[in-house]
Amino acid sequence: MTGKERVLKTLRFEEPDRPPHFEVMFELEHEAFGLQFPDRHSWAGCTRTEKDRKIACCMEIYGRIVERYQWDALAVYWPWSDPDGVRAAKKCFGDSLLIGSIVGGSVWSIDSIQDWDRFALDLAENPQAIHAEAEARTGRAIASFDHLADAGADFIHVVNDVAYNQGPFISPRRFREVVTPHLARQVAHIKKRGVIPFVHTDGNIMPVLDDFLSLGAACFQSVDPMAGLDIAEVKRRTHGRMALMGNVQCNLMQDGPKEAIRESALYCLTHGAPGGGYIFSTSNTIFPGMPLAHYEYMLDVFRAFCLKKPHPRPST
pLDDT tens digit string along 205-249? 999 999 999 999 999 999 999 999 999 999 999 999 999 999 999
DSSP 164: E
pLDDT of residue 178: 97
- Mean pLDDT within 58-72: 98
Query: Any idea what the Cα angle at residue 144 is, between residues 170 and 162, rounded to 5°?
Result: 15
Nearest-CA neighbor of 246 among 315, 157, 153, 167? 157
Model pTM score: 0.96
Give the single-character DSSP code of 39.
P
Architecture of the 3-25+94-307 domain: Alpha-Beta Barrel (3.20)
Instruction: Tell me the per-residue pLDDT of 145-158, one tens digit each, with 9 for 90 and over.
Output: 999 999 999 999 99
CA-to-CA separations, 273 to 73, 193, 231, in angstroms, rounded: 17, 29, 10
Nearest CA among 277, 283, 296 for reference residue 32? 296
Q: For strands 196-200 and 278-279, give the pairing.
A: unpaired
pLDDT for 68-127, tens place per residue? 999 999 999 999 999 999 999 999 999 999 999 999 999 999 999 999 999 999 999 999
Give pLDDT tens digits for 155-181: 999 999 999 999 999 999 999 999 999
User: In the predicted model, what is the mean pLDDT of the chain?
Assistant: 97
Q: What is the pLDDT of residues 177-198, one digit of tens each?
A: 999 999 999 999 999 999 999 9
Domain range summary for the chain, segments of one domain joined by +: 3-25+94-307
- CA–CA separation, 273 and 247 (whole Å): 12
Q: Which of 240, 253, 236, 251 is nearest to 302 (CA)?
A: 253
